[in-house]
Amino acid sequence: MKKFIAFTLLSITQSISFSQEDTTVFKEVIIQQNRLDIPVNQATRNIEILSAEEIKKLPARTVNELLAYVGGVDIRQRGPFGNQADISIDGGSFEQTLVLLNGVKLLDAQTAHNMMNIPIPLDAIERIEVLRGPAARVYGINALTGAINIVTKSSKESFVALNTFAGSSFEEKADGDGDGIYGGGGVQVTGNFNTKKQNHLITMSQDSYNGQRFNTAQNNTRLFYAGKHNINNKNSIQWMGGHTYNDFGANSFYAAPGDINSHETVKTTLFSLSSTHEIGRLKISPRISNRYNEDDYRYLGKDIDVARSKHYANALMAELNTSVETSIGDFGLGFESRFDEINSSNIGQHKRDNYGISLEYRKVFWRKLILTAGTYVNYNTDYDWQVYPGIDFAYRFSPNWKIYASAGSGQRIPSFTDLYLNQLPGNVGNPNIQPEDAWAYEANFQYTRKTLKIKGGYFYRSISNYIDWVRDMPSLPYSPINIGENLVHGIHADISQQFEIKQKHKIGYKVNYTFLNPSYNSEEEIQSKYVLESLRNQLIVGVNYAYANFSIQINNRFIERELNDPYHLLSVRANYDINNFSIYTDVSNIFNSEYIEAGAVPMPPRWFTLGVRYVWKKGK
């Protein structure tokens, strides 16, 4: 497999014609890092950008499905169609990756299983920024292996987008699951309304499926609103609010095979209010936000109160981020406070507070060398003081070539589930476990020439006090311990290019490969639970073709995890535009592969989707 991948990348590289003009084309995208906003072409870290144009082409209808096409990102779904997913970066666990929405952290102190409850449809996304590697210096706690920031649209153009779709596997429903075939669909409405001083983004979406196997039906509602008021060219106010309601059959989600009739309902509400002020070269951005999550799990069925778990978790966050430009470089300073609390039937009532201070410095030398350094100082009421420094640099040899490297640290604080869960006979928490700490080192290169982009690199990550759920024998419950040190060596390679063959004919490709080699240093003679799910090989190949109003995108994902059978997932999207309408069809898992992404949950077979998208723009 390794030889095949290397040969494929080499062949593609050698087939490229370099007779183009020696000009580099950069799209001016500003990476939102809460303090120091950096143009993407000046980034000193390994950052992947998924643009709105790319999002439109991919055969995906939810954020979960979309992120599966980003290199190094591992989506492990229990509930398909955007229902529930765990997310990790470069082989980490789902608790070690931080997800943000417009810079607001979606961290869930109960469990990261709930972090992907994101209240927006794809039409509302401007881009997705994926930062690979420890990001404590930028985003604080629990960004141990990386962070994903979803940026919503704030277009100066008013529009309304209506997207409706339906799909099915055309397979007969299982005994006891009703009559007919498995299928479902959804509708998504996104409106952006812009005036001279204000912008309002409003979205609503509703998805409903009768499942893809026994007891996997789901009903998902998402509401979101983001607004901005420009007081003047130096001062502005931003606010947003969102709500998700996910109701689904949870067959085999957590305790297979006994949970065949289990059911879960998760409700999440998010609110944020912030402002931005510029005083000369000083920029000040205060923000307050709140995230409330309600989780109702019934082991024996939807309407049965026996073996029922109810969790109410809340996180109140306050931040103050500042930056200033000086003759000796740019400085960023941030303060944050986070107040977590939970009231749960099998976790209990608990509170903890977290306070952080971030300091960053950035300087450009000789217009070629960019240096960024900083540290994050953290105080947690349960774990006292800790410091997480980091440094990275980039050097541009020419307009086409850039090398960049970094060394950074991060932390993951145990969740309330890790610490206090009391769910005998299956799982019992451990209040004595300590936070995970990580150091990572990476070196990368990038070559860009017009539409051709080649990236590659190597990283090494060491996580001490690695947390895993283990047991000595099947008769005992699972319980988390600090099992030892988790070591990962990894390489990644990316190449993409777009061609215009003739008038109106366009073709392009994108290839991304990630190889990870994890190992464990532990005194415990217990096999790690996460070894089974840790990503090892990931190859994503995409080809797109467009002629006039017709376009087609074909993607294949090869996934191999530790001790699990590898699998291929081939998917295609065809799209035809007629004035303001787009008609599209998706076929996912074309070869009907049998595969599992998390736990014991079989994922959907071949699935067909037909959709219609209508976009109205003001003045058109």
Chain segment 493-504, per-residue pLDDT in tens: 999 999 988 778
CA 269 to chain centre: 19
Q: What is the DSSP letter of 532?
A: G
DSSP E strand stretches across 137-253: 146-152, 159-172, 181-194, 198-209, 218-232, 235-249
pTM of the complete model beyond 0.95:
no
pLDDT on residue 269 = 97
SS3 177: coil
In tens, the pLDDT along 527-546 reads 556 555 688 999 999 999 99
205 strand-pairing partners: 188, 222
Residue 571: its pLDDT value, please?
96
398 pLDDT more than 70: yes
* Element at 581 (helix H, strand E): strand 581-588
What is the spatial distance between Cα 510 and Cα 541, in angstroms, rounded to a whole number?
Answer: 6
Tokens of 144: 């141990």
Tell me the pLDDT band of 256, cut-offs 50, 70 and 90. confident
Residue 331's CATH number: 2.40.170.20
Structure token pair of residue 249: 């059959």
Q: Amino acid identity, residue 233? A: N
Residue-wise DSSP of 89-157: ETT--TTSEEEEETTEE---SS-GGGTT-----GGGEEEEEEEES--HHHH-TT-SSEEEEEEE---SS
User: Could you report the per-residue pLDDT of 463-488, keeping only the tens digit for each?
Assistant: 999 998 888 777 778 889 998 898 99
Paired residues of 218 in beta bridges: 209, 248
What pLDDT is attached to residue 39?
59
User: What confidence tier does 521 reach under pLDDT thresholds 50, 70, 90?
Assistant: confident
Residue 370 clears pLDDT 60, i.e. is over it = yes
Are the beta carbons of 471 and 478 closer than 8 angstroms? yes
CA–CA separation, 114 and 118 (whole Å): 9
Look up the domain containing 35 and give its range: 2-617
**Number of domains present in the structure of the chain:** 1
Q: What one-letter code names the amino acid at 585?
A: T
Q: Is 413 helix (H, G, I), strand (E, B) or coil?
A: coil
Instruction: For 207-238, write each residue's pLDDT tens digit.
Output: 999 999 999 999 999 999 999 999 999 999 99
Q: Please check whether residue 299 is in contact with residue 290, taking contact to mean a CB–CB distance below 8 angstroms.
A: no
Q: Identify the three-state secondary structure at position 9.
A: helix
Token digits of residue 483: 């099992």
Rounded distance between C-alpha atoms, residue 120 and residue 240, angstroms: 12
Is beta strand 535-547 parallel, antiparallel or unpaired with respect to 505-521?
Answer: antiparallel
Helix (H, G, I), strand (E, B) or coil at 418: helix
User: Hey, how many other C-beta atoms are within 10 angstroms of the C-beta on 42?
Assistant: 16
pLDDT digits (tens, 9 = 90+) for 24-59: 333 456 555 566 666 566 677 888 889 888 898 898
Report CA torsion sign: 89, 94, 97, 100.
Answer: positive
Omega prior to 477 cis, within 30 of 0: no
Q: Tell me the C-alpha to C-alpha distance, in Å, between residue 105 and each of 38, 109, 285, 442.
A: 19, 11, 16, 25
Give per-residue pLDDT as tens, 155-196. Answer: 788 999 999 999 999 999 999 999 999 999 999 999 999 998
Question: Residue 20: its pLDDT value, please?
Answer: 35
Angle at 567 (CA atoms; ends 565, 569), nearest 5 degrees? 160
- DSSP conformation class of 82: T
Strand intervals (E) in 418-451: 422-423, 427-428, 436-449
Query: In 3-state terms, what secondary structure has residue 610?
Result: strand
Number of helices (H) and strands (E) in the chain: give both, helices first: 5, 33
